């Protein structure tokens, strides 16, 4: 079993505070709501601390999202692989959810180009093993902590074809931008044939009914061309972690 196949907590041993909380967990979780909430709050806080330590890297990073269900022979896998390679060649680290499919493809392309390949995995009922193209991986317990880390340490998001999880990340990002909770942030959507029905729904239903403004569609850059995606990211230097490479 490789280092990446083990729980990453082996590489990040518990701090003294974590050990103390662990020793007191049975007492604190004695069936009283307040104490149980306290344990949960501390565990969340500790996961944030682990994340801050883990994501201390020396280059800008782009997160690529997409389905775990596309195999190596699929065109979407190959597009994500090309995207990961181009990002690495342009000085970006590449972060994904660390799993198979599109995530593996983006990490693979990055790794093949000599870039820094990062995984932000999540504990699921059906365990998702880290893909073999990661230089570093952290496994999260809480989806929302993972989301915060992805936004905080990303220069841009690239949204490849995917399902509910991918849609969740897309809508979260554009909602934060629309509401002013996050500075203008490059959101690149790749795979125009796949995403066109959704974009038409935005225009023909949401804009038409006044639930979003026409200019809200400008938060999303739709393309099939890797070089155009890279150019767009470089032209919008307001991502969370600063400078363009």
Tens digits of per-residue pLDDT, 161-173? Answer: 999 999 999 999 9
- What was the pLDDT predicted at 238? 58
Q: Which residue has the higher pLDDT, 51 or 209?
A: 209
Question: What phi-psi label fits residue 215: left (phi over 0), alpha (psi between -120 and 50 degrees) or beta?
Answer: alpha
Tens digits of per-residue pLDDT, 4-34? Answer: 444 454 455 555 444 444 544 544 455 556 6
Is the pLDDT at 37 greater than 70, yes or no?
yes
- What was the pLDDT predicted at 6? 43
Tens digits of per-residue pLDDT, 96-119? Answer: 999 999 999 999 999 999 999 999
Query: Does residue 17 sit in the same domain as residue 68?
Result: no
Handedness of CA 26, 123, 158, 103 (dihedral sign): positive
- What was the pLDDT predicted at 141? 86
Is the pLDDT at 38 greater than 90, yes or no?
no
Range(s) of the domain holding residue 35: 12-52
Query: Does residue 142 sit in the same domain as residue 187?
Result: yes
Q: How many domains in the chain?
A: 2
- What was the pLDDT predicted at 20? 45
Query: Does residue 103 sit in the same domain as residue 21?
Result: no
Q: In degrees, to the nearest 5, what angle opens at C-alpha 191 toward C-alphas 194 and 224?
A: 150
Mean pLDDT computed over 142-149:
88
Query: Does residue 97 sit in the same domain as residue 184?
Result: yes
- What was the pLDDT predicted at 240? 43
Query: Does residue 18 sit in the same domain as residue 110?
Result: no
Query: Does residue 91 sit in the same domain as residue 41?
Result: no
Of the pLDDT bands very low, low, confident and very high (cuts 50, 70, 90), residue 127 is low
Q: Is residue 242 part of a domain?
A: no
Handedness of CA 24, 27, 29, 33 (dihedral sign): negative
Query: Does residue 31 sit in the same domain as residue 64?
Result: no
Of the pLDDT bands very low, low, confident and very high (cuts 50, 70, 90), residue 125 is low
Mean pLDDT computed over 58-87:
96
């Amino acid at each position: 079993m490789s280092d990446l196949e083990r729980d990453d907590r082996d590489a990040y041993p518990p701090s003294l505070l974590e050990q103390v909380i662990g020793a007191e967990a049975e007492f604190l979780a004695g069936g009283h709501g307040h104490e149980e909430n306290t344990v949960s709050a501390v565990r969340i806080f500790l996961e944030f601390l682990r994340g801050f330590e883990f994501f201390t890297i020396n280059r800008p990073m782009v997160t690529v999202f997409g389905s775990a269900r596309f195999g190596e022979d699929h065109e979407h896998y190959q597009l994500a692989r090309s995207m990961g390679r181009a990002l690495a060649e342009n000085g970006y680290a590449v972060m994904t959810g660390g799993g198979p499919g599109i995530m593996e493809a983006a990490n693979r392309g990055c790794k093949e180009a000599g870039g820094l390949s990062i995984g932000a995995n999540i504990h699921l009922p059906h365990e998702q093993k880290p893909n073999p193209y990661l230089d570093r991986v952290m496994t999260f317990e809480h989806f929302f902590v993972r989301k915060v880390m992805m936004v905080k340490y990303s220069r841009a998001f690239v949204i490849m074809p995917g399902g509910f999880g991918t849609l969740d990340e897309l809508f979260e990002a554009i909602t934060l931008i629309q509401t002013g909770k996050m500075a203008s942030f490059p959101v690149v959507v790749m795979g125009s044939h796949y995403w066109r029905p959704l974009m038409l729904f935005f225009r023909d239903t949401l804009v038409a009914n006044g639930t979003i403004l026409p200019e809200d569609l400008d938060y999303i850059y739709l393309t099939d061309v890797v070089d155009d995606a890279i150019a767009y990211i470089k032209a919008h230097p307001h991502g969370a972690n600063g400078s363009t490479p």
